[in-house]
Amino acid sequence: MLIGGFQRFSLIEYPGKICAIVFTQSCNFRCPYCQNPELVDPERFSNAIPEEDIFAFLETRQGKLDAVAITGGEPTLQPDLIDFISKLKSMNYLILLETNGSKPEIISELIELKIVDYLAMDVKAPLAKYREITRSNVDTAKINDSIAVITHSGLDYEFRTTVLKSQLGKADILEIGKLIRGSRRYVLQKFVPANVLDTKIIDALYYTDNDLECLRDAVKGYVAECVVR
Ligand code: SF4
């Protein structure tokens, strides 16, 4: 695993649990609003943190931390992700995986192996706008597959969208609502203009808190729960 960052303690990353966070290096998307550019742009990568250091720390926290959240970058690009998570599960940690949904086959494997407990997938845009918003050659059929796999996983999960007014309008949010129709939880994430991959995006138009509440009200009928965060 190429690990670009490690946070020893979080009360907010895994709903209702105390967790550590592992940040993997590299991503196949280039979302301009990405707030982890040092994990996405190879020119900004720092030396990877040895896995042994992570496991040594987590051994000392068994019984104190409930869970490990694995995020990135895009964790499913790591060829040894399954071995890494299996080892954490053998230490009795709950696992939250954050993903951009580009590798449904890896998500399926993790579910079948019963080594993941919470799935959080970014749904970046309506499928027709995916390449534009992610600035990548994404296969949108795979995004659709990941949504289906996660929705039918039987696990806790949530879908999330970072909403910038200059990128996604109300009609786009409603399209996303249709795409994830019937799902358990949808989070509209407010854009925070700091440490982003493309600094030009900082000049973009933002939604106000009131705008975001209106978007939530418009889309909430498609899902069981919709929140702004
Ligand atoms: S926001 Fe997520 S999917 Fe997009 S570039 Fe950053 S790490 Fe990759």
CATH of the structural domain 3-228, one choice from 3.20.20.140, 3.40.50.12280, 2.40.30.10, 3.20.20.70:
3.20.20.70
CA of 72 to the centre of ligand 1 (A): 7
Q: Please check the confidence at residue 10 and state whether its pLDDT lies above 90.
A: yes
Does the Cβ of 31 fall within 6 Å of ligand 1? yes
- The string of pLDDT tens digits covering residues 110-160 is 999 999 999 999 999 999 999 999 999 999 999 999 999 999 999 999 999
218: left (phi over 0), alpha (psi -120 to 50) or beta: alpha
Residue-range domain boundaries for the chain: 3-228
For residue 198, give the nearest of 24, 41, 27 by alpha carbon.
Answer: 41
Q: pLDDT-based confidence at 68, cuts 50/70/90?
A: very high
pTM, two decimals, is 0.96
Range 57-61 average pLDDT: 97
Does the Cβ of 133 fall within 6 Å of ligand 1? no
In this structure, of 28-37, 172-181, 191-200, 216-225, the range with the lowest mean pLDDT score is 191-200
Range 13-34 average pLDDT: 97
Does the Cβ of 30 fall within 6 Å of ligand 1? yes
Chain mean pLDDT for the chain: 96
Choose which residue among 23, 31, 70, 135 to substitute to test ligand 1 binding: the one with the highest number of ligand atoms within 8 A of its C-beta: 31
> Which SS3 state, helix, strand or coil, does residue 4 take?
strand
Inter-residue long-range contacts of 50-57, CB under 8 Å, 24+ positions, other chains counted: 50/3, 51/1, 51/3, 51/84, 53/6, 54/3, 54/6, 54/22, 55/87, 55/91, 57/6, 57/8, 57/20
2, 26 in Cβ contact below 8 A? yes
